[in-house]
Structure 1
Amino acid sequence: MSANNLIKYDLSIDSPLQNNMADGPLKFIIPYQEFGIKKYLHAAFSSALIVGATILALITLLEFLSTNASPIFLIFFCLILIGKLYLILLFLRVMSPSTPEELILGPSYLIFDTGLPPFDLDELSRIKQTQMLFQKRQKHTFSLDDITTLTLRNTENGNRLTIDQNGNRINLATAANEQEKKWLYNYLKDTYPINN
């Protein structure tokens, strides 16, 4: 695989997809799209909520300590602290920089590093938000047998580049656009023995 082989594939010149052969095997770096100004607006709103929760927690605690108040004030105080902790974790996750995806093409293996995507500010589901809050970076190493399952799937939400491994279907290059996924698929098809 030489760097010149990359030229024969049609890829937009302004594509963020990068390649690097300086450190051994060919590596494709696929950066995630950031949320720009929306990220900072969300951080400012979260900061205001954290300050508000702190003030409310202090008022509740002082009320509980200064009078023979009902234990419900203590329960309310604990709930405020839990909410505040969630807001702090959310703030830190929103402000943390994303880590790009990486595909490393070895002679008899393919390594896929999922990186860490930016927190999806458009996601409204609290369950999905919580999943994203604790999302971890994953690294998959595929054998030649696994690589033969590489498929470009056409779905309602666009193309998906997938590999099946041990009964799991793993999405590759989720940060890439449609053209880049097709480009990667064709490149990987020419690099590895893939039947489909």
Structure 2
Amino acid sequence: MAVRPPENSTISVATNGREQLVSIPYPRPPATTYMAGVFILFWLGGWAFGEISAAHQIMTTPAGGGTGFLVFWLCAWTVGGLFAVLTIRRVFQRSIPETIKLELAGLVYDPGIAPFKMPNSRSFPAGSSLFPKRTELRIDRTQLKSLRLREGDTCNRLTVDAGAQRIELASGATDVEREWLFKLLSDRYLPAASK
């Protein structure tokens, strides 16, 4: 059975026998994300100058010459530089599409890697945004009974409960694509509920 995503959708569906692989690419980040990455890259030029100057001053000052604060400053400056390097790596890292493998007994969900999102004024780029985890998750037919399309203020969410976790599927998709995916999963795994 051929499964077609909505018109003008970036979702792709590959069929291998009875199994299907739904691939949902993440949208491109805004250009301001890359501009922030370029700014941090230029900032690292000044950071390197400060790092070298402070290290040189510590090494050339005679022992007991009052370099305690400078050593403390150099350590903090080094940590700041490492944080900037990690941020640059994450800003320019390619996103990996979210995939949902539809098997007979259930589905296998891989969240992929979303593009870096600039933090808003209330959040700080935590470890989860700098070091995204990619954990493949098996969701069986009994857990798929909790599949819901939830309406929110700005967009809908497609969720399923897997044990104590509530997993959001197709987080990078549009509302129309989520509705299509909800119907696809309902028809395949919950035939009684969809009729």
Is the structural similarity TM-score above 0.5? yes
1:106-142 per-residue CA deviation (whole Å, 9 max, x = no partner) reads 0111111100000002544553444200111121110
| Higher mean displacement: 167-176 or 32-41 | 32-41
Q: Does 1:81 align with 2:78?
A: yes
| Higher mean displacement: 102-111 or 58-67 | 58-67
What is aligned with 1:110? Answer: 107
3-state SS of paired residue (2:142): helix
Q: Does 1:27 align with 2:21?
A: yes
What is aligned with 2:37? Answer: 43
Partner Cα separation in structure 2 for residue 50 and residue 24 of structure 1: 52
Partner Cα separation in structure 2 for residue 39 and residue 126 of structure 1: 16
Partner Cα separation in structure 1 for residue 57 and residue 122 of structure 2: 34
Change (3 A) 1:147 1:124: same
Change (3 A) 1:126 1:152: closer
Please point out which of 164, 167, 189 is paired with 1:167: 164
Partner Cα separation in structure 1 for residue 126 and residue 97 of structure 2: 20
1:16 aligned partner, one-letter code: T
| Higher mean displacement: 95-104 or 115-124 | 115-124
Gapped regions of structure 2 (runs ≥ 5): none
Please point out which of 119, 131, 134 is paired with 2:116: 119
Change (3 A) 1:63 1:172: same
Partner Cα separation in structure 1 for residue 126 and residue 27 of structure 2: 18
User: Displaced runs of 4+ in structure 1, greater than 6 A?
Assistant: none
Change (3 A) 1:147 1:115: same
What is aligned with 2:67? Answer: 70
CA contact 2:106–2:189 (8 Å) conserved in 1: no
| Higher mean displacement: 179-188 or 60-69 | 60-69
Change (3 A) 1:156 1:36: closer
Partner Cα separation in structure 2 for residue 123 and residue 25 of structure 1: 40
Shift of 1:24: 6.1
What is aligned with 2:51? Answer: 57
1:158 aligned partner, one-letter code: C
Q: TM-score, normalised by structure 2?
A: 0.89
1:45-84 per-residue CA deviation (whole Å, 9 max, x = no partner) reads 1111111111111111122222223311001001010000
CA contact 1:63–1:69 (8 Å) conserved in 2: no
CA contact 2:119–2:125 (8 Å) conserved in 1: no
RMSD: 1.9
Partner Cα separation in structure 2 for residue 25 and residue 45 of structure 1: 45
What is aligned with 1:158? Answer: 155
CA contact 1:123–1:129 (8 Å) conserved in 2: no
Shift of 1:43: 2.3
Gapped regions of structure 1 (runs ≥ 5): none
Identity %: 25
